[in-house]
Structure 1
């Protein structure tokens, strides 16, 4: 039985879940902007205490690896790396957009094929991160930066009906809705570590582990350091 810790810090919200064989058994988190570094480790140890486990009982730690907040991604991955080193367990990196698509499918089982999911996260001004999936989870287009003033949105007509969701959805929807009535906006979806459970279990069973020494977040774009 695989025991996994799931960590998400890709957005202003932060969360930690514990899963066994793909089933979530404990979750902790906050929905508003917080200091991830101050909370995530506490969530981990609260979960261990609640489940009466110690760190050596954990088989792997999965983390949302990007895209997302540069600072948040670094906090999540560095926390996961430190715990993996301490407990001699495996590290799993999961793309943030795949987690969002999986979570949306879990929350909306009424959505059937054919159809498409478009998770969206905020980036810089006039830009978002977006990806495209079938409703069965198949990747059509992996996460990429979308320049709102430069993108040819007419090509998106090929992917209908479309469900657009995530914290950046309100930035992109006015570009998409004029194309078709078959484009639905959902501003209520919030990324959570619990949405990683099935993806993380699948990655664990197939041995898709990251190198602790060299693993880096999936920033998609260069990072910038202010002067």
Structure 2
């Protein structure tokens, strides 16, 4: 298996993890952010030092590619590109919402028909979200949503949807149907949760063009109102 440097800066949490043969061998996280500009460089250097200590040769850099904060993603992607250029290794982009979904899916066993909806807070009653099934297949593509009565109705009618992330708390008063469930704990996208997705991309040689790669910034999405079921 590969030795990967994982970088996650899409929200206010800054995190870095070094993985080798499917195991995390080094990790750093800062929840006091946004502090990416001051923390990320030091964390990456520590991870590279750890790789040297364990006599590991980095095979690729994986970076969270959004959706997320413009500033946070810009800092993370710039750092990832710099390491890739400097070491001559490939770049992997990992979807932020998929990172959050994997975190929850791996926590415990869920019924096969449960849907997972990670949410990143935007402004007012807006969130950035997607919906996945248990195989991480997208049921609803990434979008910016205005949380109003009727939103996600098509998904909540027949199936349980688990909502989580820093945008989920403000949705409880609106998404209060019997099939809407909320995790009590906030789920942050973390570098240590990128491992499975990053390794899959590495095995499939799914690399980004280091020179031209750009992440999904929150500002690129336009919030949409609920789309009701057509009978």
Q: Distance in 2 between matches of 1:217 and 1:164?
A: 24
Partner of 1:183: 180
User: Against the structure 1 CA distance between its residues 139 and 52, is the aligned structure 2 distance closer, same or farther, given a 3 Å change threshold?
Assistant: same
Runs (4+) of structure 1 moved beyond 4 Å? 53-56
Residue 208 in structure 1 maps to residue 218 in structure 2: no
**Bigger helix share:** 1
Aligned residues: 220
Partner of 2:197: 199
Partner of 1:79: 79
Q: Distance in 1 between matches of 2:55 and 2:82?
A: 12
* Residues 147-162 of structure 1 aligned to structure 2 (within 5 Å): 147-149=146-148, 152-158=151-157, 160-162=159-161
* Residues 82-121 of structure 1 aligned to structure 2 (within 5 Å): 82-106=82-106, 108-121=107-120
Q: Distance in 1 between matches of 2:53 and 2:61?
A: 14
User: Against the structure 1 CA distance between its residues 176 and 222, is the aligned structure 2 distance closer, same or farther, given a 3 Å change threshold?
Assistant: same
**Structure 2 unmatched runs, 5+:** 222-231
Give 1:187 shift. 4.2
Give 1:135 shift. 2.1
Partner of 1:16: 16
Normalised to the residue count of structure 1, the TM-score between the two structures is 0.89
Q: Distance in 1 between matches of 2:55 and 2:84?
A: 9
Q: Distance in 2 between matches of 1:187 and 1:214?
A: 39
Give 1:101 shift. 0.5
Normalised to the residue count of structure 2, the TM-score between the two structures is 0.88
Partner of 2:228: none
Q: Deviations over 1:198-223 (max 9, x none)?
A: 10000001011000111001125439
